[in-house]
Structure 1
Amino acid sequence: MSADFPLAILAKAPIPGETKTRLIPVLGAEGAARLHAALLRHALEIAAAATSAHHITLWTALDHGHSLFLELADRYGIELRAQPEGHLGVRMHHALSSMPGPGLLIGCDCPMLTPVLLNHCWKALERADAVFLPAEDGGYALVGTRRTDPQLFAAIDWGTPRVMAQTRRRARELGWRLACPTSVWDVDRPQDLQRLRRLLPHLVE
């Protein structure tokens, strides 16, 4: 597989009170929104270092014309597309099925992603039907597929610690081979802020 690969990023607009809500008790609504914006900028920086800009699509939510989305599209030359209505599985399947072939999808909450790790996940699709980066909270920070099937994302309890385990069952039912190169952590809870400060202190106020 070529090192240049399709990459989708799902992101909400950094609207106070609508993003990083579990961090509001610690950072306040404005601070949580600023952290979300910083994480999104970081995710785009990593993405642009891993693959060509014309392969990157930023799938937007909440406010599709938000100034941050427009700034990032102008800076990196990436495509902006609106996420469809529906649960997370519907939105991920839509983004993956909009690609011309195999590709990867990430959010903007995982500071552990690097260009090297993204390329490693892409190459894992040479031998697997899907690649995941399981997260400590029971979800995952990356999914990549060789082909798409909505059943991969069916009957999943999104936002719970059961997401990755249920997804593994869906994959087994499809007869898919999975690759999970490593596990990661997301920035979702107050205790995650301390690790983020150690890893990327410039992202945290």
Structure 2
Amino acid sequence: MRRARLLIFAKPPRMGLAKTRLAAGMGRTEARRIAHFTLARTMRAVRGSSLDAALYLAPDRALDETLGGIWPPFLPRFSQGPGTLTERLGKGLADSPNGPVLFIGTDAPDISAAHLRCAVRALQRHDAVFGPAEDGGFWLFGVNKRPGLPPLFDNVRWSGPHTLADVRANLPSSARLALLQTLQDVDDRNDWKRWSQNKLR
């Protein structure tokens, strides 16, 4: 099997750009701090996984930023491109060769290198893998790309309780699916409060 490719979809932790829903409840400065925190933890997991990874960044000017080393210099960088999330994820999949392809964002602070390696192992025995999020979305999606695969991101209701189910419905009915550990995404003030409280227990 071809080596798995990991696509990280990210934005720089800049006020007014990242974590806009969080900023609405906590202010732009605190949202930027949390965005920086979750991004750094995601990059740490990626570095520890030793996977063939690439950064898909927005906006395009982020391609030239270093963020004090948070964007690992050894990771190739690509533009997410214009359009909706459906179109941008579709571009990442189209850019990738046939074989295992994994997608992650930077909203799940508990993501680890072990989670990423587990996803790769799951794709050795399954057609697709999800890392479910508590809100009905997912912190990871992986698929064994092959010729004839249907559009996987069409008609998906993003950022809501139906996101994972909608992507799953786009997979062939015969697809063998694997589920990883459920993690919490941090999208708004309530998410951050719940995650922080759980860490203090």
Q: Which residue of 56, 59, 66 corresponds with 1:59?
A: 56
Check whether the contact 1:60–1:80 (CA below 8 A) recurs between aligned residues: yes
Deviation (angstroms), 1:133: 1.0
Other-structure match for 1:50: 49
- Secondary structure class of the residue paired with 2:145: coil
1:78 correspondence with 2:87: no
| Superposition misfits of 4+ residues, deviation over 4 angstroms | 198-201
1:97 correspondence with 2:94: yes
Deviation (angstroms), 1:196: 3.5
Check whether the contact 1:129–1:145 (CA below 8 A) recurs between aligned residues: yes
Deviation (angstroms), 1:143: 0.8
Deviation (angstroms), 1:17: 1.7
Q: How far apart are the structure 1 equivalents of 2:35 and 2:193? A: 16
Q: How far apart are the structure 2 equivalents of 1:23 and 1:66? A: 26
Q: Name the aligned partner's letter for residue 5 of structure 1.
A: A
Q: How far apart are the structure 2 equivalents of 1:107 and 1:200? A: 21
TM-score, normalisation: structure 2: 0.85
Check whether the contact 2:133–2:139 (CA below 8 A) recurs between aligned residues: yes
Q: How does 1:164-179 map to 2 (within 5 A)?
A: 164-173=164-173, 175-179=174-178
Check whether the contact 2:150–2:172 (CA below 8 A) recurs between aligned residues: no
Q: Name the aligned partner's letter for residue 80 of structure 2.
A: Q
Structure 2 unmatched runs, 5+? none
Other-structure match for 1:108: 106
Check whether the contact 2:57–2:78 (CA below 8 A) recurs between aligned residues: yes
- Note closer, same or farther for the CA distance 1:150–1:72 as it changes in structure 2 (3 Å cut): farther
Deviation (angstroms), 1:199: 6.3
Q: Name the aligned partner's letter for residue 181 of structure 1.
A: L
Q: How far apart are the structure 2 equivalents of 1:28 and 1:180? A: 35
Deviation (angstroms), 1:72: 3.4
Structure 1 unmatched runs, 5+? none
Other-structure match for 1:31: 30
- Note closer, same or farther for the CA distance 1:22–1:76 as it changes in structure 2 (3 Å cut): same
- Note closer, same or farther for the CA distance 1:91–1:25 as it changes in structure 2 (3 Å cut): closer
- Secondary structure class of the residue paired with 2:130: strand
Q: How far apart are the structure 2 equivalents of 1:27 and 1:68? A: 26
Check whether the contact 2:58–2:80 (CA below 8 A) recurs between aligned residues: yes
Deviation (angstroms), 1:15: 2.3
Deviates more, 1:11-20 or 1:145-154: 145-154
Deviation (angstroms), 1:30: 2.2
- Note closer, same or farther for the CA distance 1:125–1:67 as it changes in structure 2 (3 Å cut): same
Q: Which residue of 120, 127, 130 corresponds with 1:129?
A: 127
What percent of counterpart residues are identical? Answer: 31
Q: Name the aligned partner's letter for residue 134 of structure 2.
A: E
CA RMSD of aligned residues (A): 2.4
Q: Name the aligned partner's letter for residue 161 of structure 1.
A: P
Q: Name the aligned partner's letter for residue 87 of structure 1.
A: T
Other-structure match for 1:180: 179
* Structure with the higher helix share, 1 or 2: 1
TM-score, normalisation: structure 1: 0.84
- Secondary structure class of the residue paired with 1:152: coil
